[in-house]
Amino acid sequence: MEHRIEKIKKQLHSQSYKLTPQREATVRVLLENEEDHLSAEDVYLLVKEKAPEIGLATVYRTLELLSELKVVDKINFGDGVSRYDLRKEGAEHFHHHLVCIECGSVKEIEEDLLLDVEKIVESQWGFEVKDHRLTFHGICRVCQKQAVAASSAKENKE
Amino acid sequence: MEHRIEKIKKQLHSQSYKLTPQREATVRVLLENEEDHLSAEDVYLLVKEKAPEIGLATVYRTLELLSELKVVDKINFGDGVSRYDLRKEGAEHFHHHLVCIECGSVKEIEEDLLLDVEKIVESQWGFEVKDHRLTFHGICRVCQKQAVAASSAKENKE
DNA sequence: TCTATTAACGATAATCATTATTATTTAGTA
DNA sequence: TACTAAATAATAATGATTATCGTTAATAGA
């Protein structure tokens, strides 16, 4: 964890930004909740637990800054809120998401599945790909099992 | 065009919705601007040209309805506005987008490039894919050429 | 060390897209 | 023709995000 904070600190310094206590607190919250997809409000509330004097605007400013530096990715699942996701160490690309339309869960895929597709896009459309966003909507493993269980229960009943 | 409106009318009727004049005007605007990625506000202004009495809320409601019926897809390019895109006839999936980070242009790709990737997701993550959203960010053909032209001009100057 | 300069901050007002409300209109039907 | 429910227009309300502005903290030079 400290190692990653050091790294982010260097990234900030390289663009002559500072890692202020507020920014550090925000980054720590992101690191501690890496699995989640926090909204700015979520981050604000979590940071407030440790540093109650922080302002919401600062959280927004920090997230925006981290987003520009590609430390976090700003994503939007269509619910009207932006969510912020730490980019994994060394990852060049945005990771992919699996959004379950039943339970709303979001799972991440680290593997880059788009290398071949990007080659096609570059050769066929002459488009130089810099980054991508890929989200699948569907039914997660858990909900599939529940659906099966529910339908067999119904059969027994009938 | 009339053919496609008829089809949408049937889709509405099948769920016992009506194709009111306001809804029809909205659909026509979408059909006439199929290449663009209009925001609700954009649609509203265009519809207003033909049917000035329409209200913004009605446009929102109509777009939401068409979105539920999968007639249009609601997309978000991260600029804080939802955009609405007619789904092509017979298309089962959302089409892909190429967003240029230089000039902001958005190009569509009709071909489904994700069939293989979806198979991997289904087999490896047990996730039943229903739909997808794929956007590439990068530099379009035009901007690439301009960059080349600009750098060679610079060389000549030096 | 002291002061000037600037970045960063907190509080809060402003903005803007979207949604909710409500009274009215329309279409279909008995 | 009158009844009922859906759909609408106008507008108020909401909620996320951004801008403003006075204050604070960090840094650099005298």
Query: What separation in angstroms does the CA of A94 have from each of A3, A67, A97, A113, B136?
Result: 21, 12, 10, 11, 11
How far is it, in rounded angstroms, from Cα A97 to Cα A91?
15
pLDDT at residue B152, as a whole number: 82
Query: Within an 8 Å CB–CB cutoff, is residue B147 touching chain A?
Result: no
Amino acid at B144: Q
Q: What is the pLDDT along chain B (158 residues), one digit of tens a residue?
A: 889 999 999 999 999 999 999 999 999 999 999 989 999 999 999 999 999 999 999 999 999 999 999 999 999 998 899 999 999 877 778 889 999 988 889 999 989 999 999 999 999 999 999 999 999 999 999 999 998 988 887 766 65
A113 at interface of B, judged by CB pairs closer than 8 A: yes
Q: Are the C-beta atoms of residues B73 and B83 closer than 8 Å to each other?
A: no
**DSSP reduced 3-state for B91:** coil
Residue A129: band (very low, low, confident or very high) from pLDDT cuts 50, 70, 90: very high
Distance CA B45, CA B30 (A): 12
CA-based nearest residue to B42, from B98, B85, B11, B103 = B85
Q: Quick check: B101 and A130 CB within 8 A?
A: yes
Strand D nucleotides within a 7 Å radius of protein CB atoms? 6-12, 15-20, 26-27
SS3 content of chain A, % helix, strand, coil (to 5): 50, 20, 30
Q: Which of B81, B107, B128, B148 should one mutate to test binding to chain A, selecting the residue with the greatest count of A CBs within 10 A?
A: B128
CA angle A106-A112-A113, nearest 5°?
A: 90
**With an 8 Å Cβ cutoff, are A130 and B109 in contact?**
no
Say whether pTM exceeds 0.85.
yes
| DSSP label of B73 | E
What pLDDT, on a 0 to 100 scale, did the predictor assign at position B104?
A: 86
- The tokens for B92 are 């089962």
Is B74:A78 a contact under the CB 8 Å cutoff?
yes
